[in-house]
């Protein structure tokens, strides 16, 4: 007989908390709900006493945020999945740490997928790194912004400025780093474009997202290319050329 996973639901809207519990029970018979809370203080208490394997955690909650709860319950011996209404800052911080989240209103298919992925990829050591990075993003404790890249084998904590460029291959993205490493992740480049544009990254081509901090020059020959200090040549599509010139002009 397989060991039951222990789950806690922390959510301040009763109807959403009830829906979360129903979806867990209905789709995951091997998960036992061992606690719930609707505010920061009770959330801290239930995590310390119930010792769950899985936590569904609302971002905005009575008394503060789900992040406030995480600050008080180290070490992280559990999987965490955030439940949130669309909030640009919160979701960006969660994405930078490669953590799972579910948007309100809750869609059952997305809910099940998030739980299944969290269970399949869970490693306690990785969660420690991911949550600590998340809290650094939220608290703005780090001068050098870091992003977590999650592959099938490992997770990588990468300083954003180490990324020279990203290269797309359909639903996969390869990160080319300044130390010569390449990291392949199974997510499309568009998601990373949304995350990194405000850090001087530019989508020069359908396949390429370039960190302009690594740029040496713009070569106008043969349609145009961004030449990096490493010597790499990144093509610029015709329709993106004017936008690049405007960015460089500014």
What average pLDDT values come out for the chain (250 residues) when binned by 10 residues?
Answer: 83 95 96 97 97 96 95 93 84 90 93 92 87 87 81 91 96 97 96 93 97 95 90 94 90
Residue 93 parent element (H or E)? helix 88-96
Picking from 202, 210, 171, 205, the residue whose alpha carbon sits closest to that of residue 189 is 171
pTM: predicted TM-score of the whole model, two decimal places: 0.82
Q: What is the pLDDT of residue 125?
A: 82
Pairing of β 208-211 and β 163-169:
antiparallel
Query: What pLDDT is stored for residue 1 in this prediction?
Result: 34
Domains and CATH numbers, the chain: 5-139 (3.40.50.2300), 152-249 (2.40.50.1020)
Strands 5-10 and 31-37: parallel
Cα distance between residue 106 and residue 69, in whole Å? 22
């Amino acid at each position: 007989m397989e060991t039951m996973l222990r789950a806690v639901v922390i959510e301040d809207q009763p109807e959403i908390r009830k829906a979360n519990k129903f979806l867990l029970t209905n789709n995951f018979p091997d998960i036992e709900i061992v606690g719930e809370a609707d505010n920061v203080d009770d959330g801290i208490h239930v995590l310390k006493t119930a010792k769950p394997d899985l936590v569904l955690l609302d971002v905005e909650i009575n008394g503060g945020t789900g992040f406030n709860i995480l600050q008080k319950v180290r070490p992280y011996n559990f999987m965490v999945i955030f439940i949130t209404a669309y909030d640009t800052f919160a979701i960006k911080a969660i994405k930078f740490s490669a953590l799972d989240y579910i948007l309100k209103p809750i869609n059952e298919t997305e809910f099940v997928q998030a739980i299944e992925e969290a269970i399949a990829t869970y490693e306690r050591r990785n969660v420690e790194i991911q949550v600590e990075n998340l809290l650094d993003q939220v608290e703005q404790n780090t001068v050098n912004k870091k992003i977590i890249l999650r592959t099938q084998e490992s997770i990588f904590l990468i300083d954003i400025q180490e990324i020279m460029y990203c290269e797309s291959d359909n639903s996969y993205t390869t990160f080319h780093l300044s130390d010569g490493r390449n990291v392949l992740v199974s997510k499309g480049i568009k998601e990373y474009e949304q995350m990194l544009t405000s850090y001087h990254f530019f989508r020069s081509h359908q396949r390429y997202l370039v960190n302009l901090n690594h740029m040496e020059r713009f070569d106008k020959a043969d349609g145009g290319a961004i030449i990096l200090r490493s010597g790499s040549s990144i093509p610029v599509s015709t329709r993106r050329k004017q936008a690049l010139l405007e960015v460089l002009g500014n």
